[in-house]
């Protein structure tokens, strides 16, 4: 440890407060009253947009300078998507897709 225990705890405390405040913000703003129509609309339309953003977020470090930096991701995502469209089994899609990805990054590329 290069800093004191007290300062370490202060860092944790600041991160706890900031994280909680962001998670609580919509509830603080709209929790006690009728939710505005535009916010209701966003609440229903956002999950699909956020999930798509999270997929992009997970793949953000992909680069196209070498095959090993993009082919494993593309192949594994395609396997997950195809398997899930075909069998509709969440667990199967994730386990097989992850196994394919691990084989690709560890053994192939």
Query: 54 exposed, middle or buried (CB, 10 Å; 0-12, 13-18, 19+)?
Result: exposed
Q: Tell me: does residue 2 bind other proteins (CB under 8 A).
A: yes
Cβ-proximal residues to 109 (8 Å cutoff; 6+ apart), any chain: 67, 68, 71, 72
- Applying CB under 8 A, among 6, 27, 64, 66 the residue interacting with other proteins is 27
Q: How far is the CB of 107 from other proteins (least distance, A)?
A: 10
C-alpha neighbours within 13 Å on the C-beta side of residue 63: 3
Helices vs strands, H then E, count in the chain: 4, 0
- Residue 61: name the closest of 48, 70, 51 by CA: 70
Q: How far is the CB of 50 from other proteins (least distance, A)?
A: 6
Q: Tell me: does residue 65 bind other proteins (CB under 8 A).
A: no
* Interface mask toward other proteins for 82-101; x: CB under 8 A: --xx----xx-xxx-xx--x
Positions touching other proteins (CB under 8 A) are 1-3, 7-8, 10-12, 14-20, 22-27, 30-31, 35, 38-61, 72-73, 76-77, 80-81, 84-85, 90-91, 93-95, 97-98, 101-102, 104-106
């Amino acid at each position: 440890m290069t800093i004191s225990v007290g300062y370490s705890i202060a860092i944790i405390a600041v991160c706890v407060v900031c994280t909680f405040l962001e998670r609580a913000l919509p509830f603080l703003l709209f929790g006690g009253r009728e939710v505005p129509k535009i916010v209701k609309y966003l609440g229903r339309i956002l999950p699909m947009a956020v999930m798509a953003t999270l997929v992009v977020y997970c793949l953000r470090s992909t680069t196209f300078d070498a095959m090993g930096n993009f082919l494993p991701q593309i192949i594994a995502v395609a396997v997950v998507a195809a398997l899930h469209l075909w069998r509709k089994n969440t667990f199967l899609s994730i386990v097989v897709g992850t196994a394919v990805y691990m084989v690709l990054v560890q053994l192939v590329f």
